[in-house]
Amino acid sequence: MSDRLRIAIQKSGRLTEQSLELLRRCGLDFARSKDALFCFGRNMPVDLLLVRDDDIPGLLAEGICDVGMVGDNVVTEKLGPTSGTTAIGRIRGLGYGHCRLSIALPSSVPYRSPADLNGMTLATSYPKLLQRFLDENALNTRVIFLSGSVEIAPRLGTADGICDLVSSGATLAANQLREVYTLLESEAALYQRDLAQSPKIQAILDRVLQRLDSVLKVDASKYVMLHAPVDKLAAISDILPAAESPTIMPLSGTKDRVAMHTLCRENVLWEHLEQLKAIGASAILVLPVEKMLA
């Protein structure tokens, strides 16, 4: 068995570029094969398999890859909500690819509760998740499978409504549909197979996860520099979101004001700056953090 970590990602689609960019920011460098379906890690023993996203859960289950970067919606549809009892586990949310699986009906169709779906026909690319919801609610609703363009089914007369992924909702609005019920909240996530018998692979994954966690923290983190009244330092620390213990330095020519530097592990909003200004802070700078290793 190879002593290289194999990561499967979507070869083309809404998660591809962000997944590749995230790995690049972790310092991983890849040489791509001629068929563009395999990437060899040049600076770490980590290789990429570029595949269809709905193949990733099966590749993990079969041990063909060790880790998959894939949407929660795909794994839950393929393996079910009890996938934690299998050899595949979710180890990280990746902070992108946010969407939800929702039932949507034409704007003219009244809806008060799931019971109103009785007798309807719903089109979906997620028949298992939808059927599970219908069974749990004892609904007599027909499900038809469509692999794409689900949102046009009501306009074509092939379904009364749909169950599909929604992000901004713009596609639903363009097809005169509205969300009535959300079955699942989803994001891109990292899933892994059981590596208990592969300690070398687990060690490589642990190195990647350390870098990954640092990158994800950097995305939300900001370095804040400001001048502050000495008697307001505690209040300023309370305002700054998820702030670490600050560095305090004297300012030349004054004893009642100091320079304060601190790392905030959550995004710093305009509202925070306005609150800081209101209690006497000045020269406030909010800087992005390029790299961070906790």
> Domains of the chain (ranges plus CATH)?
5-96+188-218 (3.40.190.10), 99-186 (3.40.190.10), 221-288 (3.30.70.120)
H/E stretch holding 229? strand 222-229
Q: Identify residue 210 by its one-letter amino acid code.
A: Q
Residue 74 has pLDDT above 90, yes or no: yes
Question: Cβ–Cβ contacts within 10 Å for residue 70, how many?
Answer: 29
Mean pLDDT (the chain, rounded):
92
pLDDT in tens, 89-98: 999 999 999 9
Radius of gyration for the chain, computed over Cα atoms and rounded to the nearest angstrom: 25
Residue pair 27/86 in contact (Cβ under 8 Å)? The answer is no
The reported pLDDT for the residue numbered 285 is 95
- Pairing verdict, β 99-106 and 161-166: antiparallel
Q: What percent of the chain has pLDDT over 70?
A: 97
- Pairing verdict, β 121-124 and 161-166: parallel
Residue 128 has pLDDT above 80, yes or no: yes
Angle between helices 16-25 and 199-220 (to 10 degrees): 100
Angstrom distance (rounded) from CA 35 to CA 19: 19
> Which tokens belong to 287?
């800087």
User: Binning pLDDT at 50, 70 and 90, where does residue 294 land?
Assistant: low
Question: Cβ–Cβ contacts within 10 Å for residue 93, how many?
Answer: 15
pLDDT in tens, 275-290: 999 999 999 999 988 8
Question: Cβ–Cβ contacts within 10 Å for residue 4, how many?
Answer: 15
Rounded to an integer, the average pLDDT of 167-179 is 93
**C-alpha closest to that of 28 among 204, 171, 183, 161:** 204
The reported pLDDT for the residue numbered 131 is 97
The reported pLDDT for the residue numbered 136 is 95
φ and ψ at residue 268, rounded to 5 degrees: -95, 120
The reported pLDDT for the residue numbered 81 is 61
The reported pLDDT for the residue numbered 1 is 53
φ and ψ at residue 68, rounded to 5 degrees: -130, 135
Q: Identify residue 21 by its one-letter amino acid code.
A: E
The reported pLDDT for the residue numbered 133 is 96
Instruction: For CA atoms 109, 113, 115, 117, give the dihedral sign.
Output: positive
> Which tokens belong to 43?
């600076």
Rounded to an integer, the average pLDDT of 242-270 is 91
Alpha helix segments (H runs only) across 169-286: 170-174, 199-220, 233-239, 270-278
Higher pLDDT, 221 or 185: 185
Burial of 9 (0-12, 13-18, 19+ CB in 10 A): buried
Residue pair 8/65 in contact (Cβ under 8 Å)? The answer is yes
The reported pLDDT for the residue numbered 83 is 46
For the chain, the first-to-last Cα distance in angstroms comes to: 33
Instruction: Give the DSSP letter string of 276-291.
Output: HHHTT-EEEEEEE-S-
User: Binning pLDDT at 50, 70 and 90, where does residue 86 land?
Assistant: low
Residue 84 has pLDDT above 50, yes or no: no
Residue 82 has pLDDT above 70, yes or no: no
pLDDT in tens, 25-34: 999 999 988 7
DSSP secondary-structure letter at 268? P
Question: Cβ–Cβ contacts within 10 Å for residue 203, how many?
Answer: 13
